[in-house]
Structure 1
Amino acid sequence: MKRKMHTPFIIVLFIIGFMLAMQYNTVKNPQQRDTRDLWDIRRELSLEKQRHSELLANIQQLNSTISKYENMDNDSPDRILRETVQGLKQEAGLTAITSPGLVLRVDASPEAKVLGQAVPNISPDLLVKLVNDINRFKGNAVVIDRKRIVQTTAIRDINGQTTVNSLAVRTPPFMITIGTSTLADANKLASYLESSSIADDFYLDNLTLSIGKPQKKVTLNGFDQSFHNKFLSETTKGE
């Protein structure tokens, strides 16, 4: 008799426990909602379209290279190969280029000069922030104090000195040269830098960032240090 009375009670407790467990799991792991507004979504869509355009451009370039190899004469493989290697070197930043762009000047602030304060070195964090702002516009080539920025470039502090590619950046003033694909891109980049807060960040460090007018031609030197390749190795002839 007692067993019959306990059975409904146990079933009720089981149901209550199951419901409490489900509620706890719902509170602990709520469904993620997309809280982005319309402009955030439009911004992401714009970035995706830009990536899509870059991929299409890369595919077109590769198809053009393939077509050259397929249509080459017997005496042209070496020439086409040299052209391909030269293009890859230029894309990697290993060669000097001349393109539209602009020049930035980093100097000590007027107050620091008037008060006779020591000219401060630029900090790695500030330099990285500037490079990131520049790289918001794709296709830019950058030279900082005659040091070319490439994929393997490291901007860091070594023994209290800001370095680029392990080479010390001189005490201001020094120049930063930016190469762009077109003059229109140079104008867009200049407008963006002028409207951003990057100049204020420099001023807080007793430095000034002067943004030059976009030019039709600026010259950037190539990366002149040894380039370490982690993934490719040269094979002996005949392999």
Structure 2
Amino acid sequence: MNKTIRRTPDGKPERRTPDEMLRDAVSDDTDIPGKGKPLDLKAYFRPDAEHRMAGKILRDNNVLPAHLQERKDAEEHLKNADEHLQRATEKIAPLQKAIRPLAQTLIRTFSYDKEMCETLGLNALPENFHPDAETPPASASDLLGTISTFDQLCKQYNARVRDLTYRYLENLRLAHENIEASKKRQLVNRSLLPAYAPIAKVDIEAQKEYIQTRFPLLPERPRDWESRLKTWLRSQKPTLWHRMFRST
């Protein structure tokens, strides 16, 4: 039966007896650099032997120093913000595409967008919703259905935009906090090794304006929209009014 040969960390055959190995281990323990003194783990990258040992312990356990952990968290939040923006855009774009022709049809029906908004009690529409001369107005029989579909799609669109705005800006806010915390920590403790390629400052207000410009909230019809529409129809074509609202 072959006997297993014990070896030292450098690969050489281990010649010491177990008692000698135990004695040497105890002796090594007494010579640990900085033994009995508190370790400043916030600055373990300093070149001192005790900090190198602390660094190895932390690295072996996948623990980063605070300023690098804050940078890592900032990068993660920035990544989450970009990914959420991409996913939300993929869901919002089809709604924008479906809403625009409906809005253009309604604007043509009311002659121009201001009259449409005043009639239905809506806020102003985005500039890119304005129709061209070839856009047909809604027919009398389709007007109510067109308005209802337009409103439903606007509500779906607005809900997704509000969710995007909150999640996107919240991730940017958390990223900004971690970036600033990492910078302050390094300024206070000059012995810390600086993080590689510092992250650019996050301008949350500029990003908020970007989202609002790219995905403006659309008007949703008020509760009294139907009575408003009836009043407008009375002033336009009484015959059309009677055809659409026979019960009145």
Same fold flag (TM > 0.5) = no
Larger relative strand fraction: 1
Where on the TM-score scale, by shorter chain, does this alignment land: which range? under 0.3
What TM-score do the two structures reach when normalised by structure 2?
Answer: 0.25
Larger Rg: 2
What TM-score do the two structures reach when normalised by structure 1?
Answer: 0.26
